Chains A and B, each alone.
Chain A
Amino acid sequence: DAMVIQNPRYQVTQFGKPVTLSCSQTLNHNVMYWYQQKSSQAPKLLFHYYDKDFNNEADTPDNFQSRRPNTSFCFLDIRSPGLGDAAMYLCATSGPGQGPETQYFGPGTRLLVL
């Protein structure tokens, strides 16, 4: 089945140690999003790629970076994780044929910072 895949599902890192979360999709969607979701809150958009064009949200900290080497894969890099970065990180995609606004989410990666 076509889907959005996130690995790993759980990630533990140390304070200040760089960490990379990955997302892949088999939907062939041209837009990919990264969200941060903290407990009991709504998802918060960090940035998104429209094809290869990177779009950063104004309030996304510089500590968060992203890479999209091809259509199928997108990575979230946290350069120096702080305790406040512990959260669920959600990847989503959208694309032609589904209505460009409809976003489909992966299962998320829960990040724990020690």
Chain B
Amino acid sequence: GESVGLHLPTLSVQEGDNSIINCAYSNSASDYFIWYKQESGKGPQFIIDIRSNMDKRQGQRVTVLLNKTVKHLSLQIAATQPGDSAVYFCAENIRNTGKLIFGQGTTLQVKP
């Protein structure tokens, strides 16, 4: 079926290290992808997005890479901080539907 999935349920990193969170998607009609961060008890917070005509997009300390050949999306966080601890969801937009399909989430734990 069509789904967006994440490879690892939990990622544990040392403070100051770089983090890489991966996501696989299966719908070739997806034209837009978003990464969300969700802290405990809060709603998902927009981090960064990328359109299907791009391979890479950078924000503040975050980079999203899109590999359409293998339908893979990744979120890189530079110099991970304790405040980055949260669940990270990737989401894909199916063209012309206005709806997002969410992956299952990866929990990022930052060790001091």
- Residues of chain A touching chain B, judged by Cβ–Cβ distance below 8 Å, are 4, 6, 31, 40-43, 45, 48, 50, 90, 92, 94, 99-108, 110
Contact = CB atoms under 8 A, between A and B. Distances in A.
A44 B50 CA distance: 22
A44 B44 CA distance: 13
A105 B98 contact: no
A99 B33 CA distance: 12
Interface in B70-112: 89, 93, 98-100, 102-105
Contact of A101 (B43, B100, B105): B100
A43 B98 contact: no
Contacts of A6: 43
B103 to A, nearest CB: 6
5 closest A-B pairs by beta carbon, nearest first, are A105-B43, A42-B102, A101-B93, A108-B43, A101-B32
Contacts of A103: 34, 46, 100
B105 A110 contact: no
Nearest to A9: B41
17 contacts: A4-B43, A31-B98, A42-B89, A42-B104, A42-B105, A48-B98, A50-B98, A90-B44, A99-B49, A100-B98, A101-B32, A101-B93, A102-B34, A103-B46, A105-B44, A105-B45, A106-B43
B61 interface: no
A90 B89 CA distance: 15
A110 B41 contact: yes
A104 B32 contact: no
A105 B47 CA distance: 12
Contacts of B103: 42
A70 B44 CA distance: 24
